[in-house]
Amino acid sequence: MAFTGINIGFGGIATLGWQGQSSFLQVTNEQAFLVQDSHVRFLGGMWLGVGALFFLAATDPAKYRNVLGAALTLIFLGGLARFTQMEFQILFGPDLASSLLAELVGIPLLYFWLLKTTRNKSSAKELAATAGLHGSKEKNA
């Protein structure tokens, strides 16, 4: 994700060429292109941020469980949004099929793995926090 974010965030629509040939368009309206290019760079920066979030969350998945779940949900929704292009020969072709499979199958599996592996840690922390609150109330009573 961070790789894609850098490629698009710093390269715009034309990209830096890290994911294949970047000479795939001809600009006919420079003003309109620059506006759309700015939007793409913004989205690339967001993608870079999501990648950085995943690196940070790897240090303590239970602590970042909710934000990871939200990020994974957004990636899944992005995979679904690919269908709005209505170009199924491209969507299921060799250039996108692996990405689509990762987004629509891999991401939900990762999400459920995250829930399963962090459930006990999150519950234990919540229980400890709750016990600490109740303990302090009893001491004050």
pLDDT digits over 99-128, tens only?
999 999 999 999 999 999 998 765 556 556
The position carrying tokens 């909710």 is 66
Q: Does one domain contain both 47 and 91?
A: no
Q: What angle do CA 34, 99, 37 make, to 5 degrees?
A: 5
Q: Does one domain contain both 119 and 67?
A: yes
In a domain, 66, yes or no: yes
In a domain, 9, yes or no: yes
Specify the pTM.
0.69
In a domain, 75, yes or no: yes
pLDDT at 11 over 70: no
In a domain, 140, yes or no: no
Q: Does one domain contain both 69 and 53?
A: no
Alpha carbon distance 102, 20 (integer Å): 19
Give the number of domains in the chain: 2
pLDDT at 7 over 70: no
Task: Give the chain's count of helices (H) and strands (E).
Answer: 6, 0
- Give the residue from 2, 12, 13, 101 showing the smallest Cα distance to 53: 2
